[in-house]
């Protein structure tokens, strides 16, 4: 039951959070005009979210999925936080 | 305990099954109304049979602006969709506090510029709006539709992963084999138009992304929101209302100048901000009927002096990619053949969702429980209720008095009432009865529509054929095609609902 709930939350909220983190990092670091980086990052966020949802269910252990997704949010989000806007 | 046994493919299966069920009913409604929206201009034109005349764009614009000047002189803006070869009327949107939703979205006659010569109807705009707003208040409908689109995309991708023999199944259809046949149908509908399904789900999410996913913009611009807005909408010139009245510049002249700027391409949208004020601006957008990208070029003029303030032409690669993806979703670029392909692929997607929902029930038949019975019955109500709602909408369009009060909101009510009635019947009646009964109702309603329309408008199938009236001819033939499809479903289901052959043979032998 716990594992089920974990996978559902990882595939929804976790996937969205990972997309936000990845898009924020890309938007701040891509070496192109700000608006172009914004468009690029926003478009790439969609496959990131789909991939994260697949990952949430594809991992053998819910724990591994949590590690990848929450870890990804923290690492990508953390770097994005440190890079100036 | 948290281990999931089996292969990667088996672990993904529940993601497909459950995301599919959660989103299925909602997505079916989105897919059906979206498929109809492919023919939004044609639907609007069919729903306004009084409009027979067209007029050149300059004249239509002049007439519409004259009307808006008396109808909505204080509105902060008038947003006009110009007539073209698919739509004879001009569509106007403006704020109005007395309107149910706070704004009016009305069609104007291209000759008189007025709405009163034709029946009051939202036309194809209703189905278009429902497709992504789901009749819910802003922004909840759009957020829900986006979430459904994302679940749809996840369901599609996980569906591909769990599908073992994707190419072989393309050629496999085992009919009348119960669950196996539903699976085959589901696979064929899914694989046949797979690139379309993925494209339409992903690009559908993109159309609402400024609302649902503003984070990249916030990350790149930080607190500088004004710069973000300016970069997002480079064609727009923001001006504060001056408070001093001033007459609008000559619209047909501005239209002509915009067309010259656009290498002669027609103008599709005209936005007039602060009309009647000294700070008025007029933005003309190049029609995207002949190009893939959406909103690729516009020109903004001073609304009083007519001076060109800004001419924006999209060249940036990422933005262009975005607008092409957006354009792919709305498919306005599509010439006739492509448009029909969009329509057919939309039908395939609707069928994919419907068969998926049925399959969910079939796969669990061996262990019946309350939840299963409920899902099965709602499935019947949704799969037959949506087409029944469409039939009711078009019937209401022909039968309601042309100028009854609040007709604009009355018409869509019939869509919801018929859909709700189908759901109610499906919940009460046993599914093996409700399926053929409701399908028969759809078939009868659709088959009678051309005759009803003929009786009311005097434009029958035969006249349409003689006059080369493709709009009415196409609508009538499409109604007959759907009637035939649902009649076929009714017959197949009645046979299935009848007692098995051995029992029947025994009975006959005994009689």
Q: What is the pLDDT along chain B (511 residues), one digit of tens a residue?
A: 345 567 888 888 888 888 888 889 999 999 999 999 999 999 999 999 998 788 899 999 999 999 999 999 999 999 999 999 889 999 999 999 888 778 888 999 999 999 988 999 999 999 999 999 999 988 999 999 999 999 999 999 998 888 766 656 655 666 666 777 788 888 888 888 899 999 999 999 999 999 999 999 999 999 888 999 999 888 888 889 999 999 999 999 999 999 999 999 999 999 999 999 999 999 999 998 877 777 789 999 999 999 999 999 988 999 999 999 999 999 988 888 999 999 999 999 999 999 999 988 888 888 878 888 999 999 999 999 999 999 999 999 999 999 898 898 999 999 999 999 999 999 999 999 999 999 999 999 999 999 999 999 988 999 889 988 899 999 999 999 999 999 999 998 877 655 445 455 555 555 5
Q: How far apart are CA B367 and CA B361, in angstroms?
A: 10
Q: Could you say which of A38, A45, A63 has the minimum Cβ distance to residue B220?
A: A38
Instruction: From B321, B273, B271, select the one nearest B296 (Cα to Cα).
Output: B321
Measured from the Cβ of residue B390, the count of other Cβ atoms closer than 10 Å reads 23
Q: Could you say which of A38, A50, A80 has the minimum Cβ distance to residue B153?
A: A50
Q: Could you say which of A28, A42, A57 has the minimum Cβ distance to residue B209?
A: A42
Task: Say what the pLDDT of residue A26 is.
Answer: 97
Measured from the Cβ of residue B175, the count of other Cβ atoms closer than 10 Å reads 9
Q: How far apart are CA B334 and CA A24, in angstroms?
A: 35
Interface of A to B at Cβ within 8 Å reads 2-3, 6, 11, 19-20, 23-28, 32-43, 45-46, 49-50, 53-54, 56-63, 80, 85
Q: How far apart are CA B408 and CA B30, in angstroms?
A: 21
**Cβ–Cβ below 8 Å for A33 and B153:** no
Q: How far apart are CA B94 and CA B72, in angstroms?
A: 8
**Cβ–Cβ below 8 Å for B220 and A3:** no
Task: Say what the pLDDT of residue B290 is.
Answer: 78
**Do the strands B281-286 and B90-95 form a parallel or antiparallel pair, or are they unpaired?**
unpaired
How many alpha carbons lie under 13 Å from residue A59 in its C-beta half-sphere?
22
Instruction: From B279, B253, B283, B257, select the one nearest B268 (Cα to Cα).
Output: B283
| Inter-chain Cβ pairs, chain A and chain B, closer than 8 A | 122
**Cβ–Cβ below 8 Å for A27 and B220:** yes
**Cβ–Cβ below 8 Å for A26 and B157:** no
The length of chain B in residues reads: 511
**Cβ–Cβ below 8 Å for A46 and B206:** yes
Task: Say what the pLDDT of residue B171 is.
Answer: 59
Q: Could you say which of A36, A45, A54 has the minimum Cβ distance to residue B319?
A: A36
Å between B40 CA and nearest CA of chain A? 27
User: Residue B460, SS3?
Assistant: coil
Show the CA angle centred on residue B107, arms to residues B102 and B111, nearest 5°.
140
Task: Say what the pLDDT of residue B4 is.
Answer: 56
Phi, psi at B168, each rounded to 5°: -65, -40
Q: Could you say which of A3, A24, A39 has the minimum Cβ distance to residue B322?
A: A39
B316: chain A residues, CB-CB within 8 Å: 33, 35-36, 39
CB environment B115-149: b (16+ within 10 A), e (fewer): beebbbbbbbbbbbbbbbbbeeeeeebbebbbbbb
B14: chain A residues, CB-CB within 8 Å: 57
**Cβ–Cβ below 8 Å for B158 and A63:** no
Task: Say what the pLDDT of residue B474 is.
Answer: 94
Task: Say what the pLDDT of residue B17 is.
Answer: 83
Å between A65 CA and nearest CA of chain B? 11
Task: Say what the pLDDT of residue B2 is.
Answer: 41
Show the CA angle centred on residue B229, arms to residues B223 and B233, nearest 5°.
160
ipTM field:
0.95
Q: How far apart are CA B271 and CA B281, in angstroms?
A: 8
B198, B215, B224: best mutation site toward chain A, by most A Cβ within 10 Å? B215
A60: chain B residues, CB-CB within 8 Å: 3-4, 11
Q: How far apart are CA B480 and CA B375, in angstroms?
A: 30
**Cβ–Cβ below 8 Å for B213 and A33:** no
CB environment B34-62: b (16+ within 10 A), e (fewer): bbbbbbbbbbbbbbbbebeebbebbebbb
A5: chain B residues, CB-CB within 8 Å: none
CA distances from B23 to B114, B281, B359, B428 (A): 42, 43, 15, 24
**Cβ–Cβ below 8 Å for B219 and A28:** yes
Region of B331 (left: φ > 0; alpha: ψ -120 to 50; beta: rest) is left
User: Residue B335, SS3?
Assistant: coil
Q: Could you say which of B2, B8, B157 has the minimum Cβ distance to residue A61?
A: B2
User: Residue B16, SS3?
Assistant: helix
Q: How far apart are CA B139 and CA B86, in angstroms?
A: 30
Å between B149 CA and nearest CA of chain A? 11
CA A35 to chain CA centroid, Å, is 21
Tokens 């789901």 -> residue: B134
Q: How far apart are CA B37 and CA B52, in angstroms?
A: 22
Q: How far apart are CA B1 and CA B342, in angstroms?
A: 46
Q: Which two tokens stand for residue B62?
A: 């002049």
Å between A42 CA and nearest CA of chain B? 6
Task: Say what the pLDDT of residue B1 is.
Answer: 36
User: Residue B290, SS3?
Assistant: coil
B159: chain A residues, CB-CB within 8 Å: none
Q: Could you say which of A28, A33, A46 has the minimum Cβ distance to residue B202?
A: A46
Measured from the Cβ of residue B431, the count of other Cβ atoms closer than 10 Å reads 17
Å between A48 CA and nearest CA of chain B? 11
* pTM as predicted: 0.90
Contact indicator for A77, A24 with CB cutoff of 8 Å:
yes
**Cβ–Cβ below 8 Å for A3 and B2:** yes
Å between B39 CA and nearest CA of chain A? 27
**Cβ–Cβ below 8 Å for B2 and A33:** no
A26: chain B residues, CB-CB within 8 Å: 216
Task: Say what the pLDDT of residue B334 is.
Answer: 84
* Structure letter (DSSP) for residue A13: I
**Cβ–Cβ below 8 Å for B318 and A43:** yes
Measured from the Cβ of residue B401, the count of other Cβ atoms closer than 10 Å reads 10
Q: How far apart are CA B181 and CA B174, in angstroms?
A: 5
Q: How far apart are CA B282 and CA B261, in angstroms?
A: 14
Contact indicator for B87, B108 with CB cutoff of 8 Å:
no
Contact indicator for B7, B146 with CB cutoff of 8 Å:
no
**Cβ–Cβ below 8 Å for A34 and B221:** yes
CA B193 to chain CA centroid, Å, is 18
Q: What is the 3-state secondary structure (H, E, C) of B49-78?
A: CCCCCCCCHHHHHHHHHHHHHHHCCCCCEE
**Cβ–Cβ below 8 Å for B219 and A19:** no
The per-residue DSSP string of B367-420 comes to S--HHHHHHHHHHHHHHHHHHHHHHHHHHHHHHS-TT-TTHHHHHHHHHHHHHH
């Amino acid at each position: 039951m716990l594992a089920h709930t974990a996978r559902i939350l990882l595939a929804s909220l976790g996937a969205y959070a990972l997309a936000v983190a990845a898009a924020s990092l890309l938007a701040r670091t891509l070496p192109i005009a700000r608006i172009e980086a914004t468009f690029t990052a926003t478009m790439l966020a969609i496959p990131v979210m789909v991939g994260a949802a697949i990952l949430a269910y594809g991992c053998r252990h819910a724990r591994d999925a949590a590690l990848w997704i929450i870890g990804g949010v923290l690492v990508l989000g953390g770097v994005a936080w440190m890079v100036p806007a | 305990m948290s281990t999931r046994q089996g292969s990667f493919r088996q672990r993904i299966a529940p993601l497909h099954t459950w995301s599919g069920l959660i989103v299925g009913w909602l997505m079916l409604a989105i897919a059906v109304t979206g498929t109809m929206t492919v023919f939004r201009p044609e639907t609007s034109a069919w729903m306004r049979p009084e409009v027979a005349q067209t007029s050149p764009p300059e004249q239509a614009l002049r007439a519409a602006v004259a009307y808006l000047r008396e109808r909505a002189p204080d509105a902060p803006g008038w947003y006009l969709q110009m007539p073209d070869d698919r739509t004879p009327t001009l569509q106007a949107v403006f704020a109005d506090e007395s309107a149910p939703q706070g704004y009016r979205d009305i069609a104007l006659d291209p000759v008189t510029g007025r709405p009163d010569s034709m029946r009051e109807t939202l036309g194809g705009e209703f189905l278009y709006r429902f497709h992504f707003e789901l009749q819910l208040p802003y922004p909840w409908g759009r957020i829900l539709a986006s979430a459904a689109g994302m679940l749809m995309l996840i369901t599609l991708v996980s569906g591909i992963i769990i599908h073992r023999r994707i190419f072989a199944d393309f050629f496999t259809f085992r009919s009348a084999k119960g669950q196996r046949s539903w699976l085959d149908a589901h696979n064929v509908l899914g694989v046949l138009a797979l690139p379309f399904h993925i494209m339409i789900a992903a690009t559908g999410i993109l159309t609402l992304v400024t609302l649902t996913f503003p984070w990249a913009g916030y990350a790149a611009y930080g607190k500088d929101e004004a710069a973000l807005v300016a970069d997002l909408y480079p064609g727009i010139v923001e001006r504060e209302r001056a408070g001093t009245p001033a007459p609008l510049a000559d619209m047909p002249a501005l239209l002509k100048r915009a067309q010259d700027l656009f290498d002669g391409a027609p103008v599709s949208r005209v936005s007039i901000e602060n009309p009647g004020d000294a700070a008025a601006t007029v933005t003309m957008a190049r029609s995207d009927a002949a190009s893939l990208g959406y909103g690729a070029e516009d020109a903004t003029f001073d609304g009083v002096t007519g001076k060109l303030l800004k001419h924006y032409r999209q060249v940036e690669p990422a933005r262009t990619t975005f607008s092409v993806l957006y354009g792919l979703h709305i498919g306005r670029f599509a010439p006739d053949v492509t448009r029909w392909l969009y329509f057919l692929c939309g039908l395939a997607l609707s069928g994919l969702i419907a068969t998926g929902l049925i399959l969910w029930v079939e796969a669990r038949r061996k262990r019946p429980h309350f939840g299963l019975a409920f899902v099965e019955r709602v499935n019947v109500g949704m799969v037959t209720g949506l087409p029944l709602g469409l039939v009711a909408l078009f019937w209401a369009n022909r039968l309601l008095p042309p100028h009854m009060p609040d007709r604009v909101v009355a018409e869509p009510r019939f869509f919801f009432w018929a859909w709700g009635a189908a759901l109610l019947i499906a919940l009460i009646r046993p599914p093996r009865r409700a399926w053929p009964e409701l399908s028969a109702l759809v078939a009868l309603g659709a088959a009678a529509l051309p005759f009803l329309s003929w009786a009311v408008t005097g434009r029958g199938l035969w006249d349409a054929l003689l006059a080369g009236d493709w709009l009415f001819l196409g609508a009538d033939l499409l109604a007959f095609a759907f009637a035939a499809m649902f009649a076929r479903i009714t017959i197949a289901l009645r046979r299935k609902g009848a007692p098995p052959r051995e029992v029947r043979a025994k009975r006959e032998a005994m009689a």
